[in-house]
Structure 1
Amino acid sequence: MRLLYWSGGLSSEVLDRARKQFADRTELDPVQIEGTYRDKLMEILNAGTDLPGIVGIKGEEVAALVPRADLFADLHTLGADDLMSQYVPWKWQQAASPDNRQIGFPIDTGPTATFYRADLFERAGLPDDPGKMAAAVQTWADYIAMGRKLVKALPSVKLVRNSSELYTIMLWQGTQRYIDETNHYIGGEAHVKRAWDLSVQLIENDLVARIAGTDGDGWAKALAEGTVATALGASWLGYDLKSMAPDTSGKWRVASGPAIGANYGGSFLAIPQGSSDHALSFEIIKWILAPDNQAVAFTEAGLFPAATAAFEMPALLQPDPFFGGQKTVGIFAESARKAHRVYEAPADGKIHESFVLALDEVEKGSTSAAQAWTAAVEGGRATAASLGVN
């Protein structure tokens, strides 16, 4: 039985154990898909033949796949209802269709926090202890003010990679994005403008490194050279930092601050409708994603558990050498408990891309913030209309 996923999407250790656990019933074959995962997944599903038994669905792509719930088995029919109370409820809701088909089983969640270089904070005369840092930086205004102090003390260092990091987290902290639950476009409303304006403040104060989210090489170089002092993101960002900048081990810390209380990412396992043995696929999924195995996935790949029992398991309570011996689970557990469901329409992802690209243009100096805002709002409106949004 093939299982399709992407690099860092599941724990290699847990998958190795799963192969042994089910060896007498199937030959489990985990396959990492390179390149654009969703495009290749849809190509495989639409072909309809020789389907894998299990597939991953990225958290940022699940809303776009929910309208195609017919491509996946309904997990309600396989026993998911008996397990739902063990996992955070809003995560299940993300992978549920309007007609109550459950297409995905939660791999992880994406509770957010502020990752920061403690050594750079110390050199800049800023609080480098996670508790003191969180106490000093409680609002986004505090974060920007701290950034001004940082770049003044360390002119070669910027506060953050790009403005869209803050923008994206702020949207996930709210309850709406670009389309409301009545299928109306709301991309020009106050909750979006507030996130946009604060993000523009980062640019205007020259606090961003102007590294686009798509520029992996630029990001790796900045991490290695220590020219970016913070990163705003979900727990899985820790895996990225460790893999992209292993030589910075011990220099990073995690704090709560204004970035907590959002869920950014967190993925799912699903069963293609046309695959051959739904019952066995579900057995394997629930074993891989059992609370104790989700705890292993956090220690290996930074995948924060969707299973609440895992929050207190010993594997999550160990000091992390990469983060200077800090036990980071408490920060992410607090963020996860404060997170909530944010309505995400199928078209939201496409529209979000246009707003992020508009911020990139402001960072490049190609346009003014006001012009970029107008273009993003109207471009989002056109995208929404083309996809059937009012």
Structure 2
Amino acid sequence: MELSRRTLLAGGFAAMLGGTVVGCSSSMDSGASAKKNAEGNIALWCWPGGLGKSVLDDTIAHFPDQHIKYSEIGGDFKQKLLTTFNGGTSIPDITGVKGEEIAALLPQANRFVDLKTIGADSILGDYLEWKVKQATTLDGQVIGLPIDIGPTALFYREDIFTAGGLPGEPDKVAEQLKTWDDFLAAGLELKKANPKALIVSDAADMYGLMVSQGTDRYIDKDNKFIGDQDHIRKAWDLAVKAITTKVDAKTLGGTPDWNAGLDQGTVPALAGAAWVALDVKAACKTSVGKWRLAPTPSGPANFGGSFLTITKNAADPAAAFEVIKYMLSADNQAKAFADAQIFPSAPAAYDKPQLKAQDPFFGGQVPIDVFGPAAKNIPIAYEAPLDNAVGAPFGDALKLVQAGKKTSDAAWAEAVSKAKQIGKRQGVQ
């Protein structure tokens, strides 16, 4: 799914990371004897849209003695960062790391400063615990402070729901659509009244979200493959049910069909992260005020949310830490939300005026009233460095079921087989 908060995504929610405890020991020596950068300047790297502009400008002005030089790096950020690391020159003092890439970088934790060694213990409690753990190795090193998160909610068209016999008020929607089974049942009811309104925007995305709602994923802490177990199969079967009952609109996010479906009501619901609001608003020109927010069926998940890290090459790690601590304070996170809907990872920001405003697009709802509780209740799951790679065949296989090219059982067997092969080549048991 290609959406505008492109800190994510190389193929939909099924390829995205949830709110997780990632972990691997930092046994690699890369960066252990890194050459220090020259003193007197702090080089800061991030990708387009990763930081709020007003916060960035204010931070640069707030630390005049540090001569912060900001570089916006487009394209494949992770690859460019790793290439720079391997080249050994022009390595930034501070760099962003995307949430979907933190797990894969934890085996190289020695390239980064353990923030606990320079004072982070005093502020880690200011951030959501599950998000901090996403940047924590199994041996306890913390390599990043969280920039933002992506708690989920159900975006839905109040007018389409009520016309189709479903509740329209958010509290009533929350009550009736508590689980994904409830959601699919509502989809059938809606389809009877309005055959063009399909409640599932994309079953493959729904599958990825359901996986991220759990506390287990594809690989456990003992480096064993568990992707063939019930917690994954249940998500798979529910996604297949959406396909076979024909309540799946099969619309790829960010496409013209997706945009039109949201505005015209043929895609009247979307379970997605807080940043998806930007995409929904951009797509909808005639349905402003008709959208509402309710809790995600079966509980919250997280998609997206990144970190600021300090490399071992930093000339003055303590000074760099003061910079990221200031930039990621609750006040500045609230400003970043106002700037670019960068959703705060510090709960104290949720009470700031920038997040308490009513939103006319959602009929006067206050979005933080839905996203705030979701953010605080993201499930903590272990995310292995290879989890994304091992999980990818499941999303690919589900798309074959969507296209009518394979039965559910055949596609499942193929996904499990490919996932095991990928894992085995990389040492997963």
TM-score normalised by length of structure 1: 0.92
> How many angstroms apart in 2 are the aligned matches of 1:344 and 1:358?
21
Matching residue of 2:110 = 70
Matched to 1:288, the amino acid is M
Matching residue of 1:111 = 151
> How many angstroms apart in 2 are the aligned matches of 1:34 and 1:147?
40
Query: How many Å apart are 1:69 and its aligned residue?
Result: 0.7
> How many angstroms apart in 1 are the aligned matches of 2:226 and 2:379?
20
> How many angstroms apart in 2 are the aligned matches of 1:173 and 1:329?
20
* Contact 1:114/1:259, CA 8 A, preserved across alignment: no
Query: How many Å apart are 1:237 and its aligned residue?
Result: 1.9
Matching residue of 1:20 = 61
* Contact 1:291/1:307, CA 8 A, preserved across alignment: yes
Matching residue of 1:339 = 378
SS of equivalent residue, structure 1 residue 253? strand
The one of 283, 293, 298 equivalent to 2:337 is 298
SS of equivalent residue, structure 2 residue 155? strand
Indicate whether 1:137 and 2:177 are aligned: yes
* Contact 2:271/2:296, CA 8 A, preserved across alignment: no
Equivalent residues in 2 for 1:28-177, closer than 5 Å: 28-31=69-72, 33-177=73-217
The one of 322, 327, 330 equivalent to 2:369 is 330
Q: Work out the percentage of aligned pairs sharing the same amino acid.
A: 42
Query: How many Å apart are 1:63 and its aligned residue?
Result: 0.9
Higher alpha-carbon deviation: 263-272 or 82-91 = 263-272
Query: How many Å apart are 1:114 and its aligned residue?
Result: 0.8
Query: How many Å apart are 1:245 and its aligned residue?
Result: 4.2
Higher alpha-carbon deviation: 270-279 or 338-347 = 270-279
Q: 1:37 to 1:135 in 2, by over 3 A?
A: same
Indicate whether 1:182 and 2:222 are aligned: yes
Matching residue of 2:261 = 222
Matching residue of 1:250 = 289
> How many angstroms apart in 2 are the aligned matches of 1:233 and 1:108?
15
Matching residue of 2:248 = 208
Matched to 2:63, the amino acid is F
Superposed structure 1 runs of 4+ greater than 6 Å apart: none
Query: How many Å apart are 1:383 and its aligned residue?
Result: 0.9
Query: How many Å apart are 1:366 and its aligned residue?
Result: 1.4
* Contact 1:177/1:348, CA 8 A, preserved across alignment: yes
Query: How many Å apart are 1:185 and its aligned residue?
Result: 0.4
CA RMSD of aligned residues (A): 2.1
Matched to 2:163, the amino acid is R
State the Cα deviation string for residues 252-297 of structure 1 (Å, max 9, x = none): 2110141533233222111222233323322221111101111223
> How many angstroms apart in 2 are the aligned matches of 1:60 and 1:70?
19
* Contact 2:261/2:268, CA 8 A, preserved across alignment: no
Higher alpha-carbon deviation: 38-47 or 228-237 = 38-47
State the Cα deviation string for residues 85-127 of structure 1 (Å, max 9, x = none): 1112221111112232211111122222111122322332322
Matching residue of 2:426 = 387
State the Cα deviation string for residues 299-355 of structure 1 (Å, max 9, x = none): 343333221212222221111222222101121122122223110101111122221
Query: How many Å apart are 1:155 and its aligned residue?
Result: 2.3
SS of equivalent residue, structure 1 residue 171? helix
TM-score normalised by length of structure 2: 0.84
* Contact 2:217/2:383, CA 8 A, preserved across alignment: yes
* Contact 1:111/1:260, CA 8 A, preserved across alignment: no
Matching residue of 1:261 = 300
Query: How many Å apart are 1:364 and its aligned residue?
Result: 1.1
Matched to 1:12, the amino acid is K
Task: Give the number of equivalent residue pairs.
Answer: 388
Matching residue of 1:199 = 239
> How many angstroms apart in 1 are the aligned matches of 2:115 and 2:208?
30
> How many angstroms apart in 2 are the aligned matches of 1:366 and 1:157?
24
> How many angstroms apart in 2 are the aligned matches of 1:94 and 1:316?
24
Query: How many Å apart are 1:137 and its aligned residue?
Result: 0.9
Higher alpha-carbon deviation: 234-243 or 352-361 = 234-243
> How many angstroms apart in 1 are the aligned matches of 2:233 and 2:257?
28
Higher alpha-carbon deviation: 108-117 or 199-208 = 108-117
Q: 1:107 to 1:247 in 2, by over 3 A?
A: farther
* Contact 1:78/1:282, CA 8 A, preserved across alignment: yes
Q: 1:352 to 1:8 in 2, by over 3 A?
A: farther
Q: 1:72 to 1:249 in 2, by over 3 A?
A: farther
Matching residue of 2:347 = 308
* Contact 1:57/1:267, CA 8 A, preserved across alignment: yes
State the Cα deviation string for residues 207-256 of structure 1 (Å, max 9, x = none): 2222346x645434433444311111222222332345466432321101
Higher alpha-carbon deviation: 219-228 or 143-152 = 219-228
Matched to 2:78, the amino acid is R
* Contact 2:215/2:380, CA 8 A, preserved across alignment: yes
> How many angstroms apart in 2 are the aligned matches of 1:129 and 1:275?
52
Indicate whether 1:282 and 2:324 are aligned: no
* Contact 2:153/2:273, CA 8 A, preserved across alignment: yes
> How many angstroms apart in 1 are the aligned matches of 2:415 and 2:97?
28
The one of 321, 335, 356 equivalent to 2:395 is 356
Unaligned 5+ segments in structure 1 are none
